[in-house]
A and B are shown apart, each in its own frame.
Chain A
Amino acid sequence: MVLVFAELGNGNLKKTSLEVAAYAAELAKNKNTECIAVAIGNANAGELEKLGNCGIKKVLHADDDKLNSVYSKAYSKIITEAAKNNNADTVVLSHNSTGKTIAPRIAIKMNAALLPGVSSLPDGNNFSKTVFSGKATAQLAAKTNTVVITLNPNSFKPHLTSDTASVEKINVSIDAKDFDYEITGTEKESEGMVPLPEAEIVVSGGRGLKGPENWAIVEDLAKVLNATTACSRPVADIGWRPHHEHVGQTGITIKPNLYIAIGISGAIQHLAGVNQSKCIVVINKDPEAPFFKAADYGIVGDAFDVVPKLTEAIKQIKSS
């Protein structure tokens, strides 16, 4: 049996939940076994049934309004119990902030091998995972019979059907000590934008933009593409842009379909964080910028001239 954790945010399934559900269903099919999902916290009407679209037949629902935020102890306890009660030997989560926090606990509780951040279905017993911050790929094999897998966001595209899943409420025994911290506040950082690790299109700016007051051209391009904005490390370090926008080896690693780098030279540390992007576009006035070697498309030119033209051209294609 494969058990997948389908995470909710404000009562809705997260995008990563559809990815892991589809991945887990496919994994179960290949192993000739069943796959069930577990969800924690309140869900909006009809939401959990949608997991059927990804090939899940049954969803276990720990419907408790005290569990609408992630608590590493409580969540890992519920998921581990669900795995034990259903004889699951494989547990799948997303390699997002929640998965990274609770998967290690689940693996220890189940005495299972933890395969973190895998990017595809296994080839035999081997799971691939990017290592060295995107500079290489490793094949990992579990040495135990039970495994906990976390799937990298944007690695697996769900093929949706119109099937629906049945939902079964489960009782959970959670007490005060399972809440290992008290959440005192939350604040949205990039209002209206898809979070960077989940974004399919990312528009990123570097020192070539000369100052924070010039970011409007980046934001305009991002807006027309419905993209998330990002930046290089020097730009975050000098305070032109917030730290949470920094992509690269010591910032956030991303894997979008399209990455547009504007005024970024392409230091090896930056490339490490973005080189898994499916398509890379580089706009830089220096023809020797190392980023061009890692790019699919490029323009050698002045960003202040090129980027507004690109925004306009995309706008026209989109409206035609």
Chain B
Amino acid sequence: MKILVCISKVPDTTTKISFTDNNSKFNEDKVQFIINPYDEWYALVRALELKETLDGTVTVINVGKADNEQIIRKALALGADDAVRVDTDPADAFTVANEIAAYAKPENYDIILTGKETINYNSGVVAGMIAELLDLPYVSLASKLDVDGNNLKIEREIEGMKETLKVAMPCVIGAQKGMAEARIPNMRGILASKTKPVKIIAPITNEIHVQSVSFSLPPEKGAVKLFSPDNVKDLAEALHNEAKVF
């Protein structure tokens, strides 16, 4: 089985967000970067589990410049066999999908896995675009994935509902919580990761569809209005008459 896992680099979940260059760029100063949690905890770990039980290879792909090497090595330390980095700083989701699809096309992966969305752009559109560009089936928001012959048995968690479905390989899957448990790389994995191959390839296009023009932070909240535990009724009244939320 040949699996491709697409990973993205995002700021650590505890990062305080700020912007530079007249609010047009994310301020990377002192920011710790990690693999997008959905890509790592669920997509990559599940791919590694499948490889361990069914044999096969797991390749990770990332679209980004040389400083993304750190997160690629982490993926290799967790157990991926090799990695590909498309050497460009992607401006939008379309660029990422286009580059990954172009690389994956002649490689004939059985499964292309990625997280349901990144925690910086929260769009969740790259996997669907890759599926369309490669004319493959696409299952989003998968919370469980098992191999059954040439098919995958998948559980999806969608608005208030759990859906089970069967999809034939090759296919593209977007992973969310439930699919696997996060792992920590061990010493052997970390040592092995240093010599695993990372192929660097040139981008195929610089076409972009969406430009991020500017960013802003949410307005500061006013001070909280506190009520005493002895006057809970007043809180109910405030929610009803002042905030008018019920």
Interface residues of A (CB under 8 A from B): 72-73, 76, 96-97, 100-105, 107-109, 112-117, 126, 130-144, 180-190, 193-198, 201, 225, 236, 243-244, 246, 249-251, 253, 257-258, 268-269, 272, 275-276, 278-279, 281-282, 292-302, 305-306, 309-310, 313-314, 316-318
Contact = CB atoms under 8 A, between A and B. Distances in A.
Which of B94, B122, B136, B164 lies at the interface centre, i.e. has the most chain A CB atoms within 10 A of its CB?
B122
A288 B208 CA distance: 46
Contact of B123 (A72, A116, A193, A297): A116
Interface stretch (B57-65, B104-112, B139-147): B139-147
22 contacts: A76-B132, A97-B158, A104-B126, A104-B131, A105-B131, A105-B138, A107-B209, A112-B209, A132-B17, A133-B122, A134-B218, A135-B217, A185-B163, A188-B160, A196-B160, A243-B178, A244-B162, A268-B14, A269-B13, A309-B229, A310-B232, A313-B236
Interface in B186-212: 208-212
Nearest to A302: B229
Given A136-B215, A137-B217, A243-B143, 12 more contacts: A97-B141, A113-B210, A136-B17, A137-B218, A140-B210, A141-B210, A180-B167, A184-B165, A185-B163, A186-B161, A298-B227, A313-B237
Nearest to A132: B17
B160 A190 contact: yes
B221 interface: yes
A115 B210 CA distance: 7
B228 interface: yes
Nearest to B126: A104
A244 to B, nearest CB: 5
B210 A181 contact: no
A124 to B, nearest CB: 10
A279 B122 contact: no
Chain B interface, >50% SS class: mixed
B122 A131 contact: yes
B228 A299 contact: yes
B137 A300 contact: no
A298 B226 contact: yes
Contact of A104 (B127, B165, B178, B214): B127
Nearest to A285: B229
A242 B132 CA distance: 33
B246 A253 contact: no
B120 interface: yes
B132 A104 contact: yes
Q: How large is the interface on B (under 10, 10 to 19, 20 to 34, 35 or more residues)?
A: 35 or more
4 residue pairs, one from A and one from B, having the closest CB atoms: A104-B128, A301-B229, A180-B137, A195-B159
B194 to A, nearest CB: 29
B213 A72 contact: no
A313 B132 CA distance: 53
B177 A189 contact: no
A116 B124 contact: yes
B119 A133 contact: yes
A132 B225 contact: no
Which of A104, A105, A201 lies at the interface centre, i.e. has the most chain B CB atoms within 10 A of its CB?
A104
Interface string B83-102: 00000000001100100000
Contacts of B171: 180-181
A293 B224 contact: yes
Contacts of B156: 97
B229 A131 contact: no
A225 B236 CA distance: 11
Nearest to B154: A181
A72 B178 CA distance: 22
Contacts of B225: 296-298
B197 to A, nearest CB: 30
B209 A113 contact: yes
A191 to B, nearest CB: 9
Given A186-B161, A196-B159, A279-B243, A72 B131 contact: yes
Which of B138, B160, B216, B229 lies at the interface centre, i.e. has the most chain A CB atoms within 10 A of its CB?
B160
B54 interface: no
B59 to A, nearest CB: 22
A114 to B, nearest CB: 6
B212 A139 contact: yes
B184 interface: no
A138 B229 CA distance: 40
A105 B126 CA distance: 10
A226 B153 CA distance: 35
Given A136-B17, A298-B226, A310-B236, A189 B160 contact: yes
A132 B120 contact: yes
B209 A114 contact: yes
B163 A183 contact: yes
B239 A297 contact: yes
Contacts of B240: 314, 317
